[in-house]
Amino acid sequence: MPQHPPQPDIVHGLDQTEAAARLVRFGPNQLRPALQRTALIQFLAQFRNPLVLILLMASGVSALTGDVPGALIIAVIVVMSVTLDFVQAYRAGRAAERLAQQVAVTATTLRDGHPTELPVSQLVPGDLVLLSAGDLIAADAQVLQANDFFVNQAQLTGEPYPVEKKAYAPSATDAPTDLPASWELDAPDTVFMGSSVVSGSARVLIGRTGSTTALGQIAVSLAAKAPPTAFEMGTRHFGILIMRLTLMLVLFTLLVNVALHRTLLESFLFAVALAVGLTPELLPMVVSVTLTRGALRMAALKVIVKRPSAIQDMGAMDVLCTDKTGTLTEAHIRLERHVDATGASSSQVLALAYLNSYFESGLKSPLDDAILAHQGIDVSGWNKIDEVPFDFERRRVSVLVERAGIRQLVVKGAPEDVIQLCTHYLDSTGATVALDALAHTSITELFDRLGEDGFRVLGIAWRDVALNHPHAVVSDESELVFAGFAAFLDPPKASAAQALQAMTASGVAVKIVTGDNERVTRHVCTQLGIPITGVLNGTEMALMQDDALRARVEEVNLFCRVNPSQKNRIILALKARGHVVGYLGDGINDAPSLHTADVGISVDGAVDVAKQAAAMILMKNDLNVLHHGILEGRRTFGNVMKYIMMATSSNFGNMFSMAAATLLLPFLPMLPLQILLNNLLYDVSEISLPLDDVDAEDLATPKRWDMTFIRNFMLTIGPISSLFDFLTFYLLLRLFGEQESLFHTGWFVESIATQVLVIFVIRTRRNPLRSYPNRWLVLTSLSVVLAAMLLPFTALAPYLGFSPLPPIYFGMLVALLAAYLIIVEGVKQWFYRRLTHR
C-alpha cells in the first residue's frame, strides 16, 4: 500500500523530531532493510553449524551416561572454538561497515529549513530533497520545482534516453502537496528510486521509500542474489571438495569402529570429532578477516573498499580500462586558445562558449569550468529560454538564449559532430560565409593540428531563431553557423609514466578508453612514453559485430571517441577473452561499465551514480594508489591460499592417518576430546595468518583461483604427512607398547607440532630461511606447539586423557619434525619446479 504521511512544509522541510518519528514508522530507506542483529544473536547464530550441534548433543549424552568431566571438557572446547570464530568475524564485519560508511551515498535534504547531507537510508516520506546532475534518486518522489530536469530511468523502464520531468501542476481541487494516487513510470512529474539525474536541478517531495517504491516492489518480487565472484565460487568449490572427502572418511571410520565392536558412543564422538578436524570451519573466518585486513590496509593507501571480496578480484585483474583525464593527466584543464575557422584568436568564440557553459544546467564538465574561469564575461543582459541537455550519443549541448530582441541557439560539443551540422561559418572579417568543401577541409585540418599539439577541442556554433521560437529541441541543431574552436590543455601527470610501467611490470595491461579524439590521446601517450599497440575509434566499433570486436580488443590499447555503450562492449569483449577486467570511471556515463567490469573503481569526487556502481573508491585519483591496491589484493589472496594449502595437505593428511589407524590399532588413535582440542589449538595458531607477509614474486603477476593447483598440491604434500604419521604410530607402539594414554599423548603432541610448524614451509615458494614470516605468526605458532608439549605435565592432563611423556620421546619428536620438514621442503621445491616447466 502507498505510504500517506501528513502533509509536510514544502518550504522548510521536516523538522528533526518529525523526521525521526517517520523513520521509526516507515523504516530505513532500503530495498531490503538489513536485519540489525545484536552481537549476542550473531554469536548464537554460530551454533547453527550441524557439526557443532551434534557435538553438543553427544556431549549431553556422554554426561547422562556418567562421564560428566569429559562432557564438560568437550562442551568448553566447542564453545571456545565457536567464540574464536565469532570474535574474529565480528570485528572484521564492524571494520568493513566503518569503511563502507566513508563512501556512502548521501542526499541533500531540507531539515528545519537548512540543507543537510544525510545517508539515503535515513530519507523518509515527506522529506524535501534537492537534486542536481549526477545525483542518484533515492526514493519515489513528486517533482515540486524543476529546471531543465532530465533523468535516466532505464533501470525501471529499459528506455536508454533521458526523460524530461516537470514540476507537478495541481488541479483546482488538489492540495498543494497532494501525492499522486497512482505512481505511473511515465508520469512527467514523478521520479523514482534507482533513476539518476542527467541534467538540470529539481526540488522533490519524497512519497515512497524502501520496499514500497516502484523499484522496491520489483526487488521484493524478483529478489535475486548478485552472481558470485570467481573468488566466492572458488572457496565454495573447495568447501564442497573437503566436505565430500570428510563424509567418506567419517563413514569409513564409524563403520570400522562398529565392526570392531568398540563403544558406540565413543565411536560416534570420535567420528564427529574427526569431521570437525577435517572440516575447514575456519575458512570463512580466515577469508573474512583476511579480506577485511586487506581492506583496512587499502584504506591506509587511500582506497576504500565497498565490497571486500573485490579485493581478490583486484589481485586477479590483468586488464585495466581507464579514461585519460585525471588518471594520465592532471585534470587541471585550462582554456588556452579560442580561435575562429581560420585559426585566428576570436573573442566571439569565447563569448559564445561562455554563454553555453554559463546557462548549461547539466553536470558541468572540467571543460565548462575552464571556460568560465578563463575570463569573466557579462551575461546580465541574456536570458535563458530553454536547453537541449548533453547526451553521449549527440555529444553536444545547446542553450536557447535571448537578449535585446535577438534569440539564438548556441551549440557546444565534439568538433566532428558540430562541423557536420554547420552550413555556414564566420570568416576572418566576421562575415557569415557558406561552408563549402574547401572551407570544410580547411576547418578539419585546423582541428587536426590542434589535436596533434595536444589540445582537447570543442566546436562552437550558433544560429538565430525567431523570437517566438518557444523551445529548444534536437532538430534545431541544424543549419548552424560555425564560430570556431575552444582549445584546452590538460598536462600529463608526472607520476603517471612510472605508475604505468609498474602496472605493466605487474602483469596488468592498461587500455585507454576515452571520448577524446585519437590525435589528442596519441599526444598524451607520446609524452608519457606509452607504446601504442593498436587504435580503434567509436565509428569503427559501431560497424563491428561482437565477434570481430573480441578479435581486436587483445591488441588494441587505445579506444577513442567511444560512447558509454561502446565502453561496455569493450569490457564484455575482454571478459569473453578470459581477462579479469577493472574499469576506472567517475562520470554518469561510466555507471554501466562499472557494473559490467569485474572490478569497478571510482574516485571520491565522482558523481553518486558512479560511486554507487563501483566496488572500490580511490580517495586520490592516481594510478600509483591503484597499483598499491592491486598488490594488496594479491597479498590478501596469497594469505587465503596459505590456509587452504595447509588444510589440504598437513591437516588433511593427519586426519586421514587417524581414520586409517582405526584399522591397525586395537584402540582409538586419539580420544574425541583430544581431537577437538587439537583442532582448537590449530585454529589458534592460524589466527595471525592474515597478517603474514607475502613474497615479492607472489605479487608480481595476477593471481586467480585454481582448483587444479590445490588438488595437485594436496595429492603431493598430503601423503608425506600421512607417511610420517604411520611412522610415528610405529615408533610410539615400539616405545610405549599398548599404553593408550601415552600413545594418545605422544600422537597428540606430534600431530600439533607437524600441523603447525609446516606452515613455515608451505607459506612460501622460497627456501623458508629466506622468507621471513610475520612475527605474530611465529609467536602464535610456537606458543601453540609449546602449550601442546606442556599440557601432559599440567593438572588438566588427567581430565584430557594425557600422561607425562618421557625425555626420550622429545628426542624422537625433534628427529621426526626435522625429517618431516626437510622432506616437505624438498617435495615442495620439486612441485613448483614441475609447475614452472609446464
Active site residues: 323
Backbone angles phi, psi at 496, to 5 degrees: -65, -40
d(CA 97, CA 102): 9
β partners of residue 149: 165
Cell of 473: 529541441
Chain-centroid distance of CA 378 in Å reads 46
* Residue 622 to residue 604: CA distance in whole angstroms: 12
Burial class of residue 811 in the structure, from the number of CB atoms within 10 Å of its CB (0-12 exposed, 13-18 middle, 19+ buried):
exposed
Helix (H, G, I), strand (E, B) or coil at 658: helix
- 599-603 and 581-584: which strand pairing? parallel
Q: What are phi and psi of 263, to 5 degrees?
A: -55, 130
CB of 368 closer than 8 Å to CB of 412: no
d(CA 474, CA 397): 10
Rounded distance between C-alpha atoms, residue 191 and residue 201, angstroms? 12
Specify the residue for cell string 575447514.
280
Contacts of 833 (CB under 8 A, 6+ apart): none
Nearest-angstrom CA–CA distance, 439 and 423: 11
> Which grid cell is 648?
589440504
The DSSP letter of residue 329 is B
Rounded to whole angstroms, the Cα distance separating 127 from 116 reads 11
- DSSP secondary structure letter of residue 773: P
Question: Would you say 336 and 487 are in contact if contact means Cβ atoms under 8 Å apart?
Answer: yes
Phi-psi region at 633: left, alpha or beta (left = phi > 0; alpha = psi -120 to 50)? alpha
DSSP 651: I
Q: Which three cell numbers stand for residue 210?
A: 524502501
In 356-504 the beta strands, taken as DSSP E runs, fall at 383-391, 396-403, 406-413, 422-426, 432-434, 456-465, 480-489
**Under DSSP, is residue 347 helix (H, G, I), strand (E, B) or coil?**
helix
Q: What is the CA radius of gyration of the chain?
A: 34
Grid cell 587465503 — which residue?
A: 640
Residue in the structure block whose three cell numbers are 589528442: 520
Quick one: cell of 685? 595458531
The dihedrals phi and psi of 37, each to the nearest 5 degrees, come to -100, 135
Q: Please state the three-class secondary structure of 147-190 as a single string.
A: EEEEEECHHHHCCCCCEEECCCCCCCCCCCCCCCCCCCCCCCCE
Task: Output the CA torsion sign for 380, 385, 389, 394.
Answer: negative
Q: How many CB atoms lie within 10 A of CB 519?
A: 18
Amino acid at 259: A
Cell 500500500 -> residue: 1
DSSP H helical ranges for 619-706: 623-646, 652-664, 672-685
CA dihedral of residues 88, 92, 94, 99 (deg, nearest 10): 160
* Under 8 Å between Cβ of 730 and 668: no
Q: Strand 581-584 relative to strand 319-322: parallel, antiparallel, unpaired?
A: parallel
Q: Are 469 and 532 in contact (CB under 8 A)?
A: no
Nearest by Cα to 714 from 658, 764, 647 = 647
Cell 548433543 belongs to which residue?
57
Q: What does the block give as the cell for 27?
A: 523504516
Residue type, 328: L
